[in-house]
Structure 1
Amino acid sequence: MQEEDNNVDKEEQIDDRFNLSRKIFVGNISYRVTQKRLTKFFSKFGTVDYCYMVKDHIHKRPKGIAFVTFSSTKDLTVALNATEEQLTLDGRLMRVLCAEESSRVKHKEGTVWDSPSLADNVEKLVISDDFADHNDKETSECLSECHINKLCDDTLILIMSMVPWRQRMCLERVCKRWLILAQRSWHKQGSIHFQSVFNRFEGLTDTKLCSVLVRCGVYLRTLDMSASPRLLTDMSMDVIAEHCPNLEVVDLSGMSITDISLRTLTQKCIKLKSICLQRCFHVSDKGLQWLFENCKQIENVNLQGNNNISGN
């Protein structure tokens, strides 16, 4: 009984320390929205004490998420119960959730940090929400008139496997049959890159990467991240390590990874033969030591532009 009381007291202390009882998480924010504009937007729900927009720590570009702290829990409740119309800013419907204690903070305080929950959240966002207002009966009636839907499953899977991966993910929204077949079509996806995929206002994030790799990661032999590294954090290494156990070639050029995240990757991706770490300025000799210890088949390591490597 005393132990339970201590746990409750600890949770209350955490809430007080981080203002979790008055703080919300805001996602899907347009990259054109400034911190001042976002603060003014949420002021219609109540008094805003502080608004923090998360930015890439190297290039200082917004990552499309923020934390808003209200002056009272009443104001927070009003924001959480807002309608879709009230939460639309700059043409985007923002996601508003209760803020939670960071998993990494818990890890620092002595508990076990577990990152796979990111994949669970992605599956809910990418798959479940797409069908929240979906009328399968109407779609079935429409598809019954389409010749392509009369093809057998194997033929449709073959066709879908030839569609570029970003458009293939959109095919999952057509109907439940196409959702299942589109996900089965990834089995021939041996490599993936992000060249010319995003426009200048977009970019590859940890969540977007996870939504791709949760579908095809187990089949990948080659992964090239060099075309869109600016919005990725070192948590992306946890995502790759979790979903891509068969990787042989990976290009991580320009990513802000550390020795610890490189160790996480190499502990799971032990089949690596080639890795590119160009301009990965936070990787040092310690990270390379873990790389060579964990990946016995490694043949090629590109360290161009990395000044932290001394060879000692």
Structure 2
Amino acid sequence: MSFFKKIFASEKKEPNLSELEKQTLDKGLEKTKASFFSKLTKAVAGKSKVDDEVLDNLEEILVSSDVGVNTTLKIIERIEERVSKDKYLGTDELNSILREEIASLLSETNSGEAKAFSIPAGTKPYVIMVVGVNGVGKTTTIGKLAYQFKKAGYKVVLGAADTFRAAAIDQLQIWADRVGVPVVKQQMGSDPASVAFDTLQSAVAQNADIVIIDTAGRLHNKVGLMNELSKVKKVMQKVVEDTPNDVLLVLDGSTGQNAFEQAKQFTAATEVTCLAVTKLDGTAKGGVVIGISDQFQIPVKYIGIGEGIEDLHVFNKYEFVDSFFK
């Protein structure tokens, strides 16, 4: 039985990326993989079995790879349990054991097969509110999502509710023009909730399938953030009940532990339903995906591994682990 069949047998799922997507993922994780395994090789040099010193070194490697302290301790505990059962566990087996434990950890949070946003029948428009600080790739992620939805045959409307910066409105307009979808906007400094309201009204009038709302990207105090996002939600619900259908938090994977702090702030401020982790191709901090997924128990739906319009990929836990340990 193959590795994936063993680890994910209960789900009866196989890796499902295309060959090109898999190659892109492999390339995107090159820096993370090279950094991690160079450290791991040094940690086990001269060692024939997994002992306390190897485990201490492994703990340091995982933390320095931005997996996060709590998740690292969880992984170490699992490996310790296996070592206790087999006193002579060799260091040559450590790679495969790590692979299995990380895969198992991701499986617990990201259950089921990798999927893009699924638009239920009868839900129209389907509203996605996108949150995240400036510079994480939030607006770019919105543009790439809009491209994917339009390519799939959906009618999409964007809402420029990040009115704090004129550049944010302009950037969203550039993406809207590039993708060929309408964007609803007002002047810089306008009430974000007013923009969201207008966007949903426009979407309903156009019989649009999907609405993506960009929101302010500044991390002001938690109370202020909560009030602003709550107001945007309430105003949208005056037009379409039970919206937004999803709240997507965009995090910059290259910031490592800062991404954890951002996730903490936004999950405290609003009900985040899914995550997108961007810029993984330019960093050795790809381990942050493992830690954030585990610690916040929120599924990672997308990862960004390139600048191109098609370089936003549905997060596939099977393929992520395979690329990480390939």
Normalised-by-shorter TM-score class:
under 0.3
As a proportion of its length, which structure holds more helix?
2
TM-score by length of 2: 0.24
Structure 1 or 2, whichever has the larger Rg, is: 1
